[in-house]
Structure 1
Amino acid sequence: MTNKQAARRIGIFDTTLRDGEQAPGNAMSAQDKLDLALRLEALDVDVIEAGFPASSSNDFDATQAVSAALSRAQVATLSRARRDDIETAVQAAGSRNHVLQIMGTGSDIHLEHKLGITRQQAIDDAVDAAKFAASLGVETVAVGIEDATRGDFGYLQQLTERAVEAGARYIPIADTSGCASPEEFGDLIAKIREWAPAPVRIGVHCHNDFGLATANAIAGLQAGADDVQVTVGGIGERAGNTAMEEVCALLAYKGEQLGLYAEVDLAGIYAVYNRLREIIRLEEPRNKAIFGQYAFGTAAGIHQAGMLRNPATYEYVEPARFGRERTLLISRHSGRAVLRHLLGEMGLQIDDSKLNEIYREYIAERVESDCEDISVLRERLAADLAPVPS
């Protein structure tokens, strides 16, 4: 749908295995991470963040396994602005094809209450870490700015410019607390773009505390960011991260309007999501965008009447593009249109009086929580209304 010649390609940086995994209930073994990493690479994502190697032996082992197995995507790691963290990350992932992300600190609240250091100390630490990573031959040195959305612009400019001077070629910007609005985040990314001009790449890393992660990420991309950090299903700290499927869906449908596109296998993301759910024992949500159990299902009679004539009446996002199927569900909110449709498929000619009787028995008298797929109702009608042999 997107005119790619007129649009800018957006990189997809997946952090399901790192930021997604560190949230409560989402623990993955090294083997789980390897399994998911290979599935993610098959989707054609650009970068796969395997973990924080210095944080645990599991993350080290997972990073080592993922790095060795990837054949196309880059592997990413996370490190504090410390030389020992960086050495550990390089031991795990090597230097080639490696995006080594050094955590920079963007806000005074983090400097004072988390680290107990000054702005200048934070800049000096980030610069030293970036130079050290570059000296080890790391292919892509990154200085990510944590909690940038609560940072002072003057300080953020110094941190960004000094990081680039020290060898950083990728600057991810994090709305760590999910506090930004799209306008605020877009304005911040526009400033970062001024301070870190191409060929330095800028990433956007948004959290969903206001439900704005996708909107903020898109605003950042429109303001000049080069890639978006996402997780499958939006898993992650607190309310989660920017959801891969939401960003990719929006770019698929609105890419020409936005001037942006991504190259990801849309139809394959749902299978990866279901595998992720198995691994972390995540219950299936009912109303989540793209991946919700009923994201492409309806039980309302007015909606069903329209969709039986033309699905586009109530369906803008097409389920088949995302490996999903459309479902009509029968509840007490369903109407006579779905009955006429089923009876017509069965070749049964029934007058209005009989139709009303069937409607009362099979639909109107259902309790609210009683909901079933249309195929189940079709089987019941076929059994109950089949002609009796003479």
Structure 2
Amino acid sequence: MGSDQPRGPRRISVFDTTLRDGEQAPGNAMSARQKLEIALALEALGVDVIEAGFPSSSADDFQALRLISDALTTARVSSLTRACRDDIQAAVDAAGVERHHIQVMVTGSDIHLRHKRGITREEGLREAVEALRFARSLGLDDMSLAIEDASRGADDLLRPLIEAGLAEGAGTVVLADTTGHMVPAEFGSLVARVRSWIPDRVTLSVHCHHDMGLSLANALAGIEAGADEVQTTLAGIGERAGNTPLEELAAVLAYKGDRFGATTSIDTTRLYEAFGLLCRTIGLVPPRNKAIFGDNAFATQAGIHQAGILRNPVTYEYVEPERFGRTRSLLVGRHSGRAVIRHLLGELGVPFGDALVESVYQEHVADRSDGTCLSADDLKRLLQELPGLRADAALSQTGA
């Protein structure tokens, strides 16, 4: 009988690498204390795993891993290491072995083996095995085989590497589209093949880059193909064009989770607060047109849109601002119509007729040819300050 029961959506683990991949991009440097503050914000909104850094790369990363490891109570801390003893030892020295997820980065393509590493496939396989074996000998039992450039790796390179990694105790396989070169159909096919090679108990994680603007699309294709975890960053920051944006993944699965049979534990109402902290920390300026976090994501100045929104926001809002800690913004500019003026006058309790609306429109809206906008609140204040507004309004209303 149990097999006839409907299955609920799979819970997709969110692995956040804002503090490692995001931080290592130019202009994004953070101190250990700043990383701790952001890590606590990420934990508070429901991230499952927080990658604190690359502890062998700097004293700051080592200290950040130690601070974050000590502070987290619900999320697991993660560190990145190369497939070598010194890196793994440094990670353990910083964070111990309890509730510590270690990502052992291995080489997944002939391109990287030849041009980056200068080693053979056999040598790459051997160092992966030895690294995981050493990590296990230190008491680590939460290990990823993190395959760099997996999306350009041949199956006859990837499969032996994965099988050897699982034999040495890796419980997660990470497929990285390191250069962001795949389209969703290609990446989904790769994930499906790897899923067929590994047991269900093994977590399959995806790490997608945004070089062609496809990091989220590829991550979603990965989920459809059987991935259990997505590696993300706040606002998609990261190397070159960045990574899968945490907030966009959360939005898609909040609204379209049934389509993917998947959900997350992310509290979407806290995302914008965490983004604000990130912006203050690294001096990030929010782009106007970015989904969820952009200044214009929930703003409009188009009169046709505003007229619909004022009647019912559902006319032009599918993504709801309050669900993401945002507020709706009606901006008044040269593309705005008269509906917003009528609305604001009504909010002020001012009786008005067409003459007053037209006067305000011509004087304060129609001629904004420089592209500047007023907020609805700015225009409301301006209306309140107009001399004789109520008397003029009353005359307009009576037609005098």
Aligned residue in 2 for 1:170:
172
CA RMSD of aligned residues (A): 1.4
Match of residue 383 from structure 1: 385
Task: Judge conservation of contact 2:141–2:169 (CA < 8 Å) in 1.
Answer: no
Partners of 1:368 and 1:222 lie apart in 2 by 46
Within a 5 Å distance, the mapping from 1:98-109 to structure 2 comes to 98-109=100-111
2:336 is matched by which residue type in structure 1? Answer: S
In the TM superposition, what is the alpha-carbon distance from 1:259 to its structure 2 partner? 0.2
Q: In 1, are the aligned partners of 2:76 and 2:99 still within 8 Å (CA)?
A: yes
- Which letter does structure 2 place at the counterpart of 1:194? S
Shift of 1:104: 1.1
Give the secondary structure class of the aligned counterpart of 2:223. helix
Q: Secondary structure at the match of 1:123?
A: helix
CA contact (8 A) 1:49 1:75 kept: yes
Tell me how far apart the structure 2 counterparts of residues 120 and 328 of structure 1 sit (CA, whole Å).
Answer: 61
| Cα shift at 1:218 | 0.9
Q: What CA distance in whole angstroms lies between the structure 2 residues aligned with 1:131 and 1:368?
A: 65
2:18–2:51 contact (8 Å) kept in structure 1? yes
Cα distance in 1, alignment partners of residues 391 and 357 from structure 2: 19
Contact between 1:97 and 1:139, CA under 8 Å: does it hold in 2?
no
**1:285 is aligned with what amino acid?**
P
SS at match of 1:282: coil
Preserved CA contact (<8 Å) 1:331 1:368? no
> How many percent identity over aligned positions?
54
Q: 1:342 aligns with which of 344, 353, 359?
A: 344
Superposition map of 1:1-390 within 5 A: 5-384=7-386, 386-387=389-390
Higher mean C-alpha deviation, range 188-197 or range 297-306: 188-197
Letter of the 2:390 counterpart: P
Supply the distance in 2 between the matched residues of 1:208 and 1:139 (Cα, whole angstroms). 31
CA distance in 2 between partners of 1:220 and 1:335 (Å) = 44
| TM superposition shift of 1:5 | 5.0
- Give the structure-2-normalised TM-score: 0.94
How many angstroms does 1:154 deviate by?
1.4
SS, match of residue 249 in structure 2: helix
- Cα separation, 2, equivalents of 1:138 and 1:104: 17
AA aligned opposite 2:98: R
**Inter-partner Cα distance in structure 1 for 2:382 and 2:158:** 65
SS at match of 1:228: strand
Q: Which amino acid aligns with 1:335?
A: G
Deviations 1:149-175 (A, max 9, x none): 111111111111111111111111100
The answer to whether the 8 A contact 2:183-2:214 is kept is: yes
Quote the Cα distance in structure 1 between the aligned partners of 2:172 and 2:324: 30
Give the drift of 1:374.
0.5
Residues 275-302 of structure 1 deviation map (CA, whole Å, 9 limit, x = unaligned)? 0111101112111100001100001001
Distance 1:110 1:363 in 2: 58
User: Would the aligned equivalents of 1:107 and 1:147 in 2 still touch at CA under 8 Å?
Assistant: yes
For this pair of structures, how many residues does the alignment match? 386
Superposition deviation, residue 269 in structure 1 = 1.1
Flag structure 1 segments of 5+ consecutive residues without an equivalent.
none
Q: CA deviation at 1:388?
A: 5.6
SS in 2 for 1:50: strand
1:351: Cα distance to partner?
3.0
Deviation at 1:381, TM superposition (A): 1.1
Separation of aligned partners in 2, 1:39 and 1:351: 50
TM-score, normalised to structure 1, is 0.97
Q: Post-superposition shift, 1:345?
A: 2.2
* Partner secondary structure for residue 173 of structure 2: strand
Counterpart CA distance in 2 for 1:194 and 1:160 is 12
